[in-house]
A and B are shown apart, each in its own frame.
Chain A
Amino acid sequence: MSNKAIVYREVGEGSGFFLLLALFGAIMAVGALAFFHMEHEGHHVTGMNNQVVWGLPHVFAIFLIVAASGALNVGSIGTVFRKPLYQPMGRLSALVAIALLLGGLAVLVLDLGRPDRLIVAMTHYNFRSIFAWNIILYNGFLALAGLYIWTMMDRKLKALYPYAGFAAFSWRLILTMGTGSIFGFLVVRQFYDSAIMAPLFIAMSFALGLAVFILVLYASFAFTGRPLGDRVLNRLRYLLAVFIGAVLFLELMRHLAGLYVARRHGVEQFILSDGGIYTQLFWVGQVFLGALVPLSLIFCRRLAGNHLSLLVACVLVILGGFAQLYVILIGGQAYPLELFPNATVESRFFDGRISDYVPSVWELMLGLGGVALSLLVVTIGVRILRFLPVSLSDEVLGSDHP
């Protein structure tokens, strides 16, 4: 449990709170408008088609879902790995996790062809489907993260705290494994079809979730005038670097394996060299801006203790994560299916051709609506319950928080 010296308090009812509510509410309204338009007109108003069947909404949804499980990590490090420095952030960590998951699920569900049949998805399960398992994992995650928060806030449940923390941590690992396996189990798509998708998504969740968490932590402390010391920020800063490195390593292994296997040469060449927007997003977005620049910002000695450089690194990691998911999702679909190995194929149905995909504004609106929902939940959460410590200054954390 968190140190006794840590005091938690709700955010005050200032104009900033209502301003944020209005802002996020407005973006959500825009997202809702996009949903109703797509639901009424059908998906022909989107850029998605019968070749690229998952588009920008799925990039947003999977980003938020993956980041959700990663955001819980901060709490888990305190609870499961018993690092006292992280324990005061456990409540916020679980709140951000729940908020991100709700946002991601909202986008995912509202993009369905038949969102009105959500109840069908809840009542008809095909247990061979990793997608069906994910539905169960998402719901379980929400329940466990809620229980975890409860044990952190209610002294009467203090005895359950380590168990709830361990359960939530285990569950989140399985959840992200499941999300990665949605792609890893797609045997026929050459860019997916690999067990490495599960650990890759777990590593991505660590990096993306932590980046989002740092930004939320910093913003909420800055907006409410609460002190946030360098010890916490530096610890999170170097943790972020480890996670960025893990993602890079797994991506390296994935592409090296792809380059080694003859039947994957085509798709690897497409993504790494000939893929136009996908190649640019991979090298410039994901690798350079999303990993190398943040690592430089984190390890540059001149920037040690510089808050702005950490915040920029976090923003870049998030943008890099979007680029990475865009390349995986859209790039992986844009490359044609291989009907006949060692042969070229052509048809009226775009066989053998790189598929075009240009996201529509409706898809962007829906995705941003999901982000706004996540931020709205955090904003309301810290207003009505004691999620935020009054201070995380170096003095408050003291020597009890190595």
Chain B
Amino acid sequence: MSDRLQPVTAGHPNQVDTYRRRFMAGITGAAAMATLAPGIILREAGAAGVDVTPRSPEQPVTSTVRWGMLIDVERLSDGGEAMVAACRNEHGWGDDPEASPAQQAQWIRTVKVTDKLTQHSFTLPVMCQHCEKPPCVDVCPTGASMKRADGIVQVNKHICIGCRYCMMACPYKARSFVHEPLTDQRPHSPRGMGTVESCNLCVHRIDAGQLPACAEAAPHAVIFGDLNDPDSRISQAVRELGGTQIRADLALNTGVRYLNI
């Protein structure tokens, strides 16, 4: 079990350690999860909100900060449904009156994954992964799809022309297109018809010193914070426990990481 606490050098993932950790986790099973890892997550998340400090509008966003999120899938008893509900409530998507089911927006969703061979199964919430090298930003012709200096990937709704190329490029299907005119939008989260939208890590809340709505909805399973600060709780947690990326083979270095997937 002590292997689980072996630090993995940042930028040089130690594969042997990774395999050893998985193996140990496998044989110790529930016992390991019930004791050590959840303890860390729970303890850290119990102090949620400390890492996010308000930023005044005059204060520039800097790259000294990189916001990220670590989600322990095993501690999400509902697979992340509460996170989805919190996001819907915060941003007002998912119930557009005219849109067909396939046209509804989906900023975050729960995905059930089952291994074809082992039939091992888990459910996880999937949203914009806030990549360090986001394909959606590369392909956008106008620069509307952009990454803020602090790592938040979002759409500049003022210059999005609605070409949807970013939706073609996103590996995580994290983006949606607004298919109809909308009323009663949230003032902090405008959703203009004909433009593309996605999770923005609740940028308005972060700037006000609050946690993203989804992180707040699952405090026992989610740590949100600054990945650039080695002393932040999220940095300590990913150093101790790792943090798996979805489609790590694409080398996008995502800001959203998962445990136990």
A residues in contact (CB < 8 Å) with B: 41-44, 48-54, 112-115, 117-118, 120-121, 124-126, 128-132, 135, 182, 185-189, 333, 337-351, 355-356
Question: Given the complex, which residues of B lie within 8 Å of A351, measured CB to CB?
Answer: 109, 111, 126, 173
> Cα distance A43–B125 when bound, in Å?
27
> Cα distance A126–B175 when bound, in Å?
19
Q: Which of B5-13, B27-35, B62-70, B139-147 interfaces with chain A?
A: B139-147
Contact A339 B126 (CB under 8 A): yes
Q: A49-B103, A120-B161, A185-B139 are in contact. Are A113 and B109 (CB under 8 A)?
A: no
Q: What are some 12 contacts across the A-B interface (CB < 8 A)?
A: A126-B137, A129-B138, A130-B139, A186-B139, A189-B168, A339-B111, A339-B113, A340-B246, A341-B249, A347-B126, A349-B109, A356-B102
CB of B117 within 8 A of chain A?
yes
How far does the Cβ of A129 sit from chain B's closest Cβ, in whole Å? 5
Q: Which of B151-167 contact A (CB under 8 A)?
A: 159-165, 167
How far does the Cβ of B259 sit from chain A's closest Cβ, in whole Å? 15
Contact A44 B103 (CB under 8 A): yes
CB of B194 within 8 A of chain A?
yes
Contact A113 B164 (CB under 8 A): yes
B98, B100, B180, B194 pick with most chain A CB within 10 angstroms: B194
A118-B161, A131-B140 are known; give 19 further A-B pairs, CB within 8 A. Answer: A41-B98, A43-B177, A48-B103, A49-B100, A50-B103, A113-B163, A113-B164, A128-B139, A132-B141, A135-B141, A188-B169, A188-B250, A337-B171, A343-B115, A345-B111, A345-B114, A348-B109, A351-B173, A356-B102
Contact B160 A42 (CB under 8 A): no
CB of B105 within 8 A of chain A?
yes
Contact A42 B161 (CB under 8 A): no
Question: Given the complex, which residues of B lie within 8 Å of A53, measured CB to CB?
Answer: 164, 167-168, 177
Question: Given the complex, which residues of B lie within 8 Å of A115, measured CB to CB?
Answer: 161
Q: Which of B230-255 contact A (CB under 8 A)?
A: 246-247, 249-250
> Cα distance A346–B103 when bound, in Å?
17
Contact B167 A50 (CB under 8 A): yes
> Cα distance A94–B98 when bound, in Å?
44
Sorted from nearest, which 9 A-B pairs have the closest CB atoms? A113-B162, A113-B194, A49-B102, A42-B180, A188-B171, A44-B179, A132-B141, A131-B141, A124-B142
How far does the Cβ of A192 sit from chain B's closest Cβ, in whole Å? 8
Contact B104 A125 (CB under 8 A): no
Question: Given the complex, which residues of B lie within 8 Å of A340, measured CB to CB?
Answer: 113, 246
Contact B113 A42 (CB under 8 A): no
Contact A187 B250 (CB under 8 A): yes
Residue from the list B169, B178, B181, B194 in contact with A112, Cβ < 8 A = B194
CB of B85 within 8 A of chain A?
no
Residue on B nearest A332 in the bound complex, by CB: B168
CB of B149 within 8 A of chain A?
no
> Cα distance A276–B113 when bound, in Å?
26
Residue from the list B126, B179, B247 in contact with A43, Cβ < 8 A = B179
Contact A339 B246 (CB under 8 A): yes
Residue on A nearest B109 in the bound complex, by CB: A349
Residue on A nearest B97 in the bound complex, by CB: A44
How far does the Cβ of B195 sit from chain A's closest Cβ, in whole Å? 6
> Cα distance A182–B168 when bound, in Å?
10
Residue from the list B141, B178, B247 in contact with A121, Cβ < 8 A = B141
CB of B40 within 8 A of chain A?
no
Question: Given the complex, which residues of B lie within 8 Å of A49, measured CB to CB?
Answer: 100, 102-103, 179
How far does the Cβ of B149 sit from chain A's closest Cβ, in whole Å? 17
Contact A125 B142 (CB under 8 A): yes
> Cα distance A337–B126 when bound, in Å?
13
> Cα distance A353–B6 when bound, in Å?
40
How far does the Cβ of A125 sit from chain B's closest Cβ, in whole Å? 7
CB of B193 within 8 A of chain A?
yes
Contact A347 B112 (CB under 8 A): yes
Residue from the list A50, A120, A128, A189 in contact with B138, Cβ < 8 A = A128
Q: A42-B194, A117-B161, A345-B112 are in contact. Are A337 and B173 (CB under 8 A)?
A: yes
CB of B196 within 8 A of chain A?
yes
Contact B105 A50 (CB under 8 A): yes
Residue from the list A42, A113, A185 in contact with B196, Cβ < 8 A = A113
Contact B162 A132 (CB under 8 A): no
> Cα distance A125–B250 when bound, in Å?
25
CB of B106 within 8 A of chain A?
yes
> Cα distance A388–B67 when bound, in Å?
63
How far does the Cβ of B131 sit from chain A's closest Cβ, in whole Å? 11
Question: Given the complex, which residues of A lie within 8 Å of B142, measured CB to CB?
Answer: 120-121, 124-126, 132
Contact A44 B99 (CB under 8 A): yes
Question: Given the complex, which residues of A lie within 8 Å of B162, measured CB to CB?
Answer: 112-114, 117
CB of B18 within 8 A of chain A?
no
Residue from the list A50, A131, A185 in contact with B106, Cβ < 8 A = A50
CB of B170 within 8 A of chain A?
yes
Contact A347 B250 (CB under 8 A): no
How far does the Cβ of B196 sit from chain A's closest Cβ, in whole Å? 7
Residue on A nearest B193 in the bound complex, by CB: A42
Q: A49-B102, A50-B105, A343-B115 are in contact. Are A113 and B173 (CB under 8 A)?
A: no
How far does the Cβ of A134 sit from chain B's closest Cβ, in whole Å? 8
Contact B178 A113 (CB under 8 A): yes
Question: Given the complex, which residues of A lie within 8 Å of B168, measured CB to CB?
Answer: 53-54, 186, 189, 333
> Cα distance A351–B171 when bound, in Å?
12
CB of B23 within 8 A of chain A?
no
How far does the Cβ of B20 sit from chain A's closest Cβ, in whole Å? 22
Question: Given the complex, which residues of A lie within 8 Å of B115, measured CB to CB?
Answer: 342-343
Residue on A nearest B172 in the bound complex, by CB: A339
CB of B110 within 8 A of chain A?
yes
How far does the Cβ of A208 sit from chain B's closest Cβ, in whole Å? 22
> Cα distance A348–B103 when bound, in Å?
12
Contact A112 B105 (CB under 8 A): no
> Cα distance A251–B162 when bound, in Å?
31
CB of B135 within 8 A of chain A?
yes
Residue on A nearest B99 in the bound complex, by CB: A44
Residue on B nearest A118 in the bound complex, by CB: B161
